[in-house]
Structure 1
Amino acid sequence: MPDIHPVLAEVTQRIIDRSRDSRAAFMARTDRYKSTEPRRKKLSCANYAHVVAASNDHDKLQQALDAVPNIGIVTAYNDMLSAHQPYHDYPDKIKTAARKFGATVQVAGGVPAMCDGVTQGREGMDLSLFSRDVIAMATAVSLSHDAFDAALCLGICDKIVPGLVIGSLSFAHLPVIFVPGGPMSSGLPNPEKAKIRTQYALGQVGRDALLAAEMASYHAAGTCTFYGTANSNQMMMEMMGLHVPGAAFVHPNTPLREALTVAATQQAAKTAENGKAPKRMADVLTEKAFINAVVGLLATGGSTNHTLHIPAMARAGGVIITWQDMDDLSRVVPLLARVYPNGSADVNHFHAAGGIGFVIRELLSVGLLHNDVETIWGTGLQDYAQEPWLDGETLKWRPVPETSLDDKVLRPASNPFQPEGGLRELTGNLGRAVTKTSAVKPEHQVVEGPCVVFD
């Protein structure tokens, strides 16, 4: 691996120094929960009976013997969100898989999941950001029973993943793995959708035509295919090492998706707190993991919402990240992807061109990601510079393509779309803001005009 880029090294050290006291306090709190035996053994017999009362006879016996890991699921399932609808049968699938790997599974709790795409322009939008913290609290409540040796988080969309991360960090002595559902197949192409929206705004077509176009775009179970906050979440889970490698953008209800979910279950059983190879969330989500998330966001032109979510997630782990840190990194991290709204392609095209694994490999090759990190899968981010595939019924990984399969969507670090990242901080005498430069054409990045002063 090449040396770390000097700016990445400087920003990383600055964050480590700034976070020294808060990170130490977080780790001390986490260490106090450490246990070499299932914590549920410390429950009274009556409390313990409540834990297993509804389990089937096989699982009840295993849990009573404390002989196997018990994995808790925190689910954001509802069937109004297309991204979360595939989760409807995940608990049963995960329970079946877990028994094969010598583990038991219980649904620890559910969290709310709202869609900004539904509530924008409506009163419900007032609850959107607030819902992140409700989700964090609900996650913590779900894991508070001292009944679990590992956790699987089922969530994808905007505020759900950050909330699940924040809440899980209150139980960072456990291994925590995020299990995605995958994007829907591509629908109406983005340029065609934009054309019909324009025609509607001009009064050239009616609501029926607009509704038909929108329903042809958002048309099936799975995550919406534009590169907004939901899909930026999935990118970050790979960059932070919380997914099974390459799990982010595999379609729902496919053999490969099913195999990846089974692999997540197996890994949770393998890395359980009291097992032979424990992998605490606290040891995965270090300063360097959060910085890798920032770099991934900049390199792909991800959602500006994460300039709010990354600092909040990091702070829950005792790490203090600022907009200035992000802006300094953006000056040296190249933009490698153009995915709608930064271009016309969707995440399926991005994934087919090489996807997140390609981005990770390219950034590692120029010293712009930390490889010396722990992940839920092992040691080193290089595991995520691969793509999963099925050899018959066997899940395997192989290197991502050497070259992009579509350089209009994905490019190497040697030939980026722009030399700087997709987000920048703007400061001035009126305040400060974050702008998504990857979605603004160069000729529109400077706006000049008369200043109107209001008393």
Structure 2
Amino acid sequence: MAIHDTVSSVTQRIRQRSAERRAAYERHMQDQHRQGVHRGELSCGNLAHGFAACGPQDKNQLKLMNSANLGIVSSYNDMLSAHQPLAPFPDMIKEAARRMGSTAQFAGGVPAMCDGVTQGQPGMELSLFSRDVIAMATAVALSHNMFDAALYLGICDKIVPGLFIGAARFGHLPAMLVPGGPMTSGLPNSEKARVRQLYTEGKVGRGELLEAESESYHGPGTCTFYGTANSNQLMMEMMGLHLPGASFVNPNTPLREALTRYAAEQSIRNSEPGGNYRPFWKQINEKAIVNAMIGLLASGGSTNHTLHLVAMAGAAGITINWDDFAELSAVVPSMTRIYPNGQADVNHFQAAGGMSFLIRELLDAGLLHRDIDCVFGGDLSDYTREPFLDNGELVWREGPTESLDPDVLRPASNPFSPTGGLAVLDGNLGRGVIKISAVKPEFRRVEAPVRLFSDQNELKAAFDAGELDRDVVVVVRFQGPRANGMPELHKLTPYLGVLQDRGHKVALVTDGRMSGASGKVPAAIHMTPEAYDGGPLARLREGDVVRLDPENGTLQALVAAAEWQAREPAATDIESYRYGMGRELFAGFRSLVGGAEDGAATFGGFEARDVDKGGRTA
């Protein structure tokens, strides 16, 4: 089928907007490329240092200069469930490379933090900036110029975007993202949410809450709800940076191991010494980025990617903005119901048809670019297949042509909703985004007096005192990237959910984040300019009436224009939040970071220093 007119026009607009920036990026990548094995550029002394610790077989192979050497960059640690399964992957990759007459070396590790552990804690204020630390750590790992291709082992929220940014800056190397897979299903999400809300109301104790959480997050692998981590995996497959069907295979299974070994073999084939050179920079263009956006919208994915995907695209010389998301959202159907947009988890999604069905449907509807270069096969058509083990051998077969569970996954012709459920908000309070796919229509429009907070911990005290037991727009400001690193504010969700269940009209407005776990309460997030920089949220006063109308894309303080303009922005004491738990080490990041719609990045825009967020010459 021909590509949808809106998808085509948005893609063309991105291409035109990015033309100069992308051309500069491509020149840089071509300058970095050297024919032949990359270690051939090193002096004898350099090279001796590069393989000094290798065993005799690998050392001899590396001396020959006629085979590929894979660089492994991993986010492994054994505290966090998503990363613990990555422990054996380097040995699998090295063994697979040797069988191909090549080599692999562990180039370096990147930090991996878990927002689930740091939620509501001071450490959460390092979370967003960890993405850029990961990108820099990736660059350090690959800076030795020993490698002909790279495998990036990572899963969760900031890790994959950081690895992607690092991969883009080493875009002359073929790249493949290697996932670990989701944990098996535990306590149903509806029951977990119910216990959380009962705890908020004081009806169950901490013991019952901890038991419910432990039964939900119970083993190795990513969390099974559809948050940023699993949105990452979906987008990587939509861009052809995973092997087909690799995203949601559980850890510690024979199929997962076979996919990891095959990733090494395919990366060698994709290297220049392997004879089928597929560098990252030629694979990832505006079509691949649009495919990621469409996959995110069709699946109701994480709002964090209205930040991350902007930064990721920018690292590859491509400028996207929130209007692109909104225009695509208007024509991309909502095809999944995965928690928090439904009660199923990603394992149910996988069983219902998973990525192969979703990609097939979007391709057949003309909503994805088929003609992108992928790490496997010819183009995205090969991603309608699923991996299986046939007598121990990894094979791919065509995936289902019908959903096996229409309560979880539907065809594009019969979606849960005709639109993607992501809206951009504009008004005198600035510009932000809202994910309404999990919000019932009767709860989406809210007009009520505001209650202002400068710290998410203040909200609990107000809730306990009964001060919020009414129609209310809760505004949590001074939570932007320059103020305190833009933490996620999940801690607020149970309290606001209780108020909504009591029959009140409730909404959240913030310059902070909520991510893929944004739930049933409408949340206008990523508001920009942020309050710390004197943005409009700083002009609000206690009791102002605010109207949130996501159906019409507006967020407005109902204050007379003259009075609004005359108001001085409020200030807050933010310094006490900048020390402890390592936060003082990130002062430079806070001073350098760009705005939310620019991706909240600290790198200064790479080739886009003369281009603003809308793509206009500055």
Q: Same fold (TM over 0.5)?
A: yes
Aligned residue number for residue 383 of structure 1: 382
Q: Could you tell me how far 1:238 is from its partner in structure 2?
A: 0.2
Aligned residue number for residue 128 of structure 2: 129
| 1:438 alignment partner, SS class | coil
Question: C-alpha distance in 2, partners of 1:393/1:207?
Answer: 46
1:405 aligned onto 2:404: yes
Instruction: Flag the 1:449–1:42 CA change in 2: closer, same or farther, 3 A.
Output: closer
Question: C-alpha distance in 2, partners of 1:392/1:351?
Answer: 22
Please say if residues 427 and 433 of structure 1, whose CA atoms lie closer than 8 Å, have aligned partners that are also in contact: yes
**Letter aligned with residue 250 of structure 2:** H
For structure 2, list consecutive stretches of 5 or more residues without a partner in the other structure: 451-542, 545-558, 560-566, 568-618
Q: Could you tell me how far 1:450 is from its partner in structure 2?
A: 5.6
- Comparing 159-168 and 428-437, the one that deviates more: 428-437
Tell me how large the CA RMSD over aligned residues is: 1.1
Aligned residue number for residue 441 of structure 1: 440
Aligned residue number for residue 188 of structure 1: 187
Please say if residues 386 and 400 of structure 1, whose CA atoms lie closer than 8 Å, have aligned partners that are also in contact: yes
1:4 aligned onto 2:8: no
Listed as ranges, the matches of 1:172-211 within 5 Å are 172-211=171-210
| 1:439 alignment partner, SS class | coil
Please say if residues 40 and 48 of structure 1, whose CA atoms lie closer than 8 Å, have aligned partners that are also in contact: yes
Q: Could you tell me how far 1:14 is from its partner in structure 2?
A: 0.3
Listed as ranges, the matches of 1:350-369 within 5 Å are 350-369=349-368
Question: C-alpha distance in 2, partners of 1:105/1:59?
Answer: 8
Q: Could you tell me how far 1:263 is from its partner in structure 2?
A: 1.0
Listed as ranges, the matches of 1:9-158 within 5 Å are 9-158=8-157
Q: Could you tell me how far 1:39 is from its partner in structure 2?
A: 2.0
Please say if residues 299 and 337 of structure 1, whose CA atoms lie closer than 8 Å, have aligned partners that are also in contact: yes
Q: Spell out, residue by residue over 1:71-93, the C-alpha distance to the aligned partner (whole angstroms, 9 max, x if none).
A: 00001000111000001111111
Please say if residues 36 and 274 of structure 1, whose CA atoms lie closer than 8 Å, have aligned partners that are also in contact: no
Question: C-alpha distance in 2, partners of 1:153/1:449?
Answer: 47
| 1:435 alignment partner, SS class | strand
Aligned residue number for residue 163 of structure 1: 162
Question: C-alpha distance in 1, partners of 2:163/2:194?
Answer: 37
**Letter aligned with residue 332 of structure 1:** V
Aligned residue number for residue 334 of structure 1: 333
| 2:445 alignment partner, SS class | coil
Please say if residues 271 and 277 of structure 1, whose CA atoms lie closer than 8 Å, have aligned partners that are also in contact: yes
Q: Could you tell me how far 1:379 is from its partner in structure 2?
A: 2.4
**Letter aligned with residue 358 of structure 2:** V
Q: Could you tell me how far 1:47 is from its partner in structure 2?
A: 0.8
**Letter aligned with residue 372 of structure 1:** D
- Superposition TM-score, scaled by structure 2 size: 0.72
Question: C-alpha distance in 2, partners of 1:398/1:42?
Answer: 42
**Letter aligned with residue 22 of structure 1:** R
Question: C-alpha distance in 1, partners of 2:18/2:193?
Answer: 44
Q: Could you tell me how far 1:386 is from its partner in structure 2?
A: 1.5
Question: C-alpha distance in 1, partners of 2:47/2:188?
Answer: 54
Question: C-alpha distance in 2, partners of 1:323/1:167?
Answer: 23
Listed as ranges, the matches of 1:261-276 within 5 Å are 261-276=260-275
Question: C-alpha distance in 2, partners of 1:294/1:9?
Answer: 13
Question: C-alpha distance in 2, partners of 1:330/1:42?
Answer: 47
| Equivalent pairs, count | 454
Question: C-alpha distance in 1, partners of 2:343/2:38?
Answer: 51
**Letter aligned with residue 49 of structure 2:** H
| 1:426 alignment partner, SS class | strand
- Comparing 271-280 and 74-83, the one that deviates more: 271-280
Please say if residues 116 and 125 of structure 1, whose CA atoms lie closer than 8 Å, have aligned partners that are also in contact: yes
Please say if residues 86 and 253 of structure 1, whose CA atoms lie closer than 8 Å, have aligned partners that are also in contact: yes
Q: Could you tell me how far 1:101 is from its partner in structure 2?
A: 1.4
Aligned residue number for residue 288 of structure 2: 289
| 1:58 alignment partner, SS class | helix
Question: C-alpha distance in 1, partners of 2:383/2:440?
Answer: 31
**Letter aligned with residue 215 of structure 1:** S
Listed as ranges, the matches of 1:420-439 within 5 Å are 420-439=419-438
Q: Could you tell me how far 1:106 is from its partner in structure 2?
A: 0.3
Please say if residues 66 and 273 of structure 2, whose CA atoms lie closer than 8 Å, have aligned partners that are also in contact: no
| 2:437 alignment partner, SS class | helix
Question: C-alpha distance in 2, partners of 1:13/1:81?
Answer: 41
Question: C-alpha distance in 2, partners of 1:222/1:206?
Answer: 28
- Comparing 348-357 and 189-198, the one that deviates more: 189-198
Please say if residues 173 and 273 of structure 1, whose CA atoms lie closer than 8 Å, have aligned partners that are also in contact: no
| 2:446 alignment partner, SS class | coil
Q: Spell out, residue by residue over 1:285-315, the C-alpha distance to the aligned partner (whole angstroms, 9 max, x if none).
A: 1110001000000000000000000010000
- Comparing 161-170 and 379-388, the one that deviates more: 379-388
Please say if residues 356 and 400 of structure 2, whose CA atoms lie closer than 8 Å, have aligned partners that are also in contact: no
Please say if residues 338 and 409 of structure 1, whose CA atoms lie closer than 8 Å, have aligned partners that are also in contact: yes
Question: C-alpha distance in 2, partners of 1:128/1:449?
Answer: 32
Please say if residues 67 and 273 of structure 2, whose CA atoms lie closer than 8 Å, have aligned partners that are also in contact: no
For structure 1, list consecutive stretches of 5 or more residues without a partner in the other structure: none
Aligned residue number for residue 278 of structure 1: 277
Please say if residues 302 and 422 of structure 1, whose CA atoms lie closer than 8 Å, have aligned partners that are also in contact: no
Aligned residue number for residue 599 of structure 2: none
Please say if residues 35 and 273 of structure 1, whose CA atoms lie closer than 8 Å, have aligned partners that are also in contact: no
Please say if residues 37 and 66 of structure 2, whose CA atoms lie closer than 8 Å, have aligned partners that are also in contact: no
**Letter aligned with residue 399 of structure 2:** V
| 2:169 alignment partner, SS class | helix
Aligned residue number for residue 240 of structure 2: 241
- Comparing 269-278 and 445-454, the one that deviates more: 445-454
**Letter aligned with residue 41 of structure 1:** G
- Comparing 206-215 and 397-406, the one that deviates more: 397-406
| 2:176 alignment partner, SS class | strand
Structure of higher RCO (CA pairs closer than 8 Å, 6+ residues apart): 1
Question: C-alpha distance in 2, partners of 1:427/1:410?
Answer: 32
Aligned residue number for residue 313 of structure 2: 314
User: Bigger radius of gyration, 1 or 2?
Assistant: 2
- Superposition TM-score, scaled by structure 1 size: 0.98
**Letter aligned with residue 238 of structure 1:** E
| 2:416 alignment partner, SS class | coil
| 1:40 alignment partner, SS class | helix
**Letter aligned with residue 367 of structure 1:** G
Q: Spell out, residue by residue over 1:90-136, the C-alpha distance to the aligned partner (whole angstroms, 9 max, x if none).
A: 11111111111121010001100000111111111110011000000
| 1:247 alignment partner, SS class | coil
